[in-house]
Structure formats: C-alpha cells, structure tokens
Amino acid sequence: MAIIELEGKSYPCEENETVLDCLTRHGVQVPSSCRAGVCQSCMMRAEQGEIPKAAQVGLKPTRVTQGYFLACSCKPQDDLRIRFPDAEGLRMGARVVGKELLSHDIVAVRLVPDKPMDYRAGQFIRLFRDGGLSRCYSLASVPVLDEWLELHVRHVPGGQVSGWVHGDLSPGDSVQIADSSGHCFYVPDQQDRAMLLVGTGSGLAPLYGIVRDALHQGHWGPVWLYHGSHGSKGLYRVDELHELERQFANFHYVPCVSHEKPSNGMRQGMVLDVVAGDHESLDGWQAFLCGHPDMVTLGKTQLFLSGVSLSEIYADPFVAS
C-alpha cells in the first residue's frame, strides 16, 4: 500500500486506487473534470517518489521533467510526496551580488542563494520585499554558465516591489526568495527543431536564459529571438546577443522598435508584426512568448494560426499581482 504525503499529512492509498480518488475519499479537495487523463484539471506535482508513466501521458515535456502528473490517472506503486501545482516553492535566503542598469527602466539583479537552487533558465522565482510582499521574476541566468541567479526587473511606475528593487536594493543586501517554478524552459528532446522566442521589455529575461541554454546544450535547429520595445533605449544586451549570433550560425537576433525610426540592425514595427512578415508558416516550430500580457495573448493566437502546435507554445505573461 502506497502512502501519499501532501502538505504534511499522510493518506494511505488502497490497491488500484488513484491519487485523485484517495485524496477525495479523505476529504481533500482536488480540482477534477474528466477523471480520465485528458482535461488536465487534476494536475499535481510529485516532490518525491516514482510516478507511473500512465499518469504523465499528454503532459508537456517541461512538465514531465518536473514531476507533474495527473492525479486521476495515477495509481502509485510507491510512496509519493506531492503538492498542488501552484503551491509556493521553498523559501530561502539569498545575497545580492550585483546590480546593473540594462536600459533606462530595467536593472539586472544578481543573487546568490544561501543553498544551491535547482532551476532551469526561463523559470521564475518569487522575490520578497518583506515577509508578505513578493513578486515573480524570471531567470535570465543559466545554471551551467552563470554562478548567480540573474533577474531583469523593469521599473513599474508606483510599483511596490520593482520600485524597491530599483531604489533601495543594493549589492551586499540579504533577501528572501522562493524556489523556481514555471514551465517556460528548454528541453533538449528535439535538437533540430526550429525555435521562435518573442519578448517585449523585460520579457527578454527568460528568453535570454532559454536561448543561451539551448545553444550551449547543442541545439542546432534555427533559433530566432525577437525583442520588441517602443524605442532603442528599451533594448538591452544588444551587443551580447549579436556576439552570440557570431558564435552560433543557427541563432538569429532581431531587435524591433515600434515607435521610433530603426537604426543599425533594428527592425521597425510591433514585434509580432515583424515575426509575421519574416515567417509565413511556423509549422513544426516551437514558440516561447514572454512579457506584456496583451502581446502574449495576441501572440499565442497568431503563432497557433501560423502553424505552431498548441502543445509547442510556451508562454509567461508578466501579469501584475
């Protein structure tokens, strides 16, 4: 008999019983709908223990690698420690080791966590201003390339956390963060696939991480990165990305400005329009969209209608808390 542990409590699972049935029987509320492994309403995440393959059918590879599973299709053979998918990660301390102005309203913040943190470039962490007040920021760093976590924080006018980051936060400070989460990251399951990454503003952060991660893991299919901003002063890491283009022949970096005449190497227009002009069909591509929520919503539909499969679209809209 397998024991299921959730939020510090143990629930014994009967022979042939699913995790969903077991938890429901013990009075734990778990969202569910089809109870047949299709609608993904009952998705949970395992922290420890072996997940039967049947419980991960249909999930994105980025979910599978992180131990997500469908409770309605999971008949555990072994004990499992599980949590709800949106449960906050482990809290830990971190030290600020660097802060650098990237553009007129975006700073890079570098953090070294007190204990090693397992993460993937493109995921996000939660940064706490104090006990209760926190916001999500995406990781532009890559575990094997960078010794620190790097965030790109845009200053939102009147923003409680981004204002504090831009103003008070200084190298040497100690802060609290919560463990990485999110499923916008690179999985080397098909290294010849064409990848499209589209971001606006500090939406470049996760994409900067994903692109470097993919290229350094040997991805050899074409990788196109589009970064959009109102004007050229909002673009950043331009030299680094052009350098990356020189280093990797399959990488293409396209900076776009929407409200300004473009100068050297930039393109004029809304970033999604520039993408549409460059690529008639995106059949078989994988796509990542990060940044302004309106751009992300529009982009998902546009890219899907251009041929990207629903299952190959990864997105993080930077929605306000």
Partner 1 sequence: MSLYEQLGGDAAVNAAVDIFYRKVLKDARISRFFQGVDMERQAAKQKAFLTMAFGGPNNYSGLDMRRGHAHLVAQGLDDSHFDAVVEHLGATLKELNVPDALIVQVAAIAETTRNDVLGK
Sheet strand arrangement including 9-13: 9-13, 2-6, 80-83, 43-48, 68-70
**CB nearer to partner 1: pick between 34 and 145:** 34
Q: Between vectors from CA 131 to CA 126 and to CA 133, what angle results, nearest 5°?
A: 55
Residue 24 contacts ligand FES per CB under 6 A: no
Beta strands in 88-160 (DSSP E): 91-103, 106-113, 124-128, 134-138, 149-154
What six digits make up the tokens of 288? 């990542």
**Residues 279-308 interacting with ligand FES (rule: CB under 6 A):** none
| Of the residues 7, 10, 14, 34, which one makes contact with ligand HEM according to CB under 6 A | 34
Query: Phi/psi class of residue 158: alpha, beta or left (left: φ > 0; alpha: ψ in -120 to 50)?
Result: left
What is the CA angle 311-182-137, rounded to 5? 135
φ, ψ of residue 4 in degrees (nearest 5): -105, 125
Site for ligand FES in 36-55 (CB under 6 A): 37-42
Answer for which of 136, 149, 198, 223 binds ligand FAD (CB under 6 A) is 136
Give the nearer residue to ligand FAD in terms of CB position, either 103 or 202.
202
Q: How far is the CB of 236 from partner 1 (least distance, A)?
A: 28
Q: Minimum Å distance from CB 43 to partner 1?
A: 9
Residue (of 251, 303, 302, 280) closest to 312 by Cα position: 303
Residue 242 contacts residue 252 (beta carbons within 8 Å): no
Look up residue 140 and give its DSSP letter.
Answer: -
Does 202 engage in binding with ligand FAD (CB under 6 A)?
yes
- Whole-angstrom Cα distance, residue 194 to residue 65? 21
Quote the CA–CA distance of 234 and 231 in Å, as a whole number: 6
> Residues interacting with partner 1, by CB under 8 A?
33-41, 57-58, 60, 300-301, 304-305, 309-311, 313, 315
Instruction: Report the residue from 153, 271, 282, 289 that binds ligand FAD according to the rule CB under 6 A.
Output: 153
CB of 225 to ligand FAD, least distance (A): 16
Of 93, 159, 222, 262, which one interacts with ligand FAD (CB under 6 A)?
A: 159
Find the shortest distance in angstroms from Cβ 34 to ligand FES. Answer: 4
Smallest gap, in angstroms, from Cβ of residue 312 to ligand FES? 20
Whichever of 73 and 141 has its CB closer to ligand FES, that residue is: 73
What are the backbone dihedrals phi and psi of residue 207, each rounded to the nearest 5 degrees, phi first? Answer: -70, -35
Residue 224 makes contact with ligand FAD by CB under 6 A: no
124 binds ligand FAD (CB under 6 A): yes
Segment contacting ligand FAD by CB under 6 A, of 86-94, 146-154, 192-200, 235-243: 146-154
Q: How far is the CB of 316 from partner 1 (least distance, A)?
A: 11
CA dihedral 240, 244, 246, 247 (to 10 degrees): 130
Pairing of strands 286-291, 313-317: parallel
Cβ of 289: how many Cβ atoms within 10 Å?
Answer: 30
3-state class (DSSP) for residue 100? strand
Residue 311 near ligand FES by CB under 6 A = no
The stretch among 65-73, 133-141, 187-195, 250-258 that binds ligand FAD (CB under 6 A) is 133-141
Residues that bind ligand FAD (CB under 6 A): 124, 135-138, 151-154, 156, 158-163, 182, 202, 205, 316, 318-321
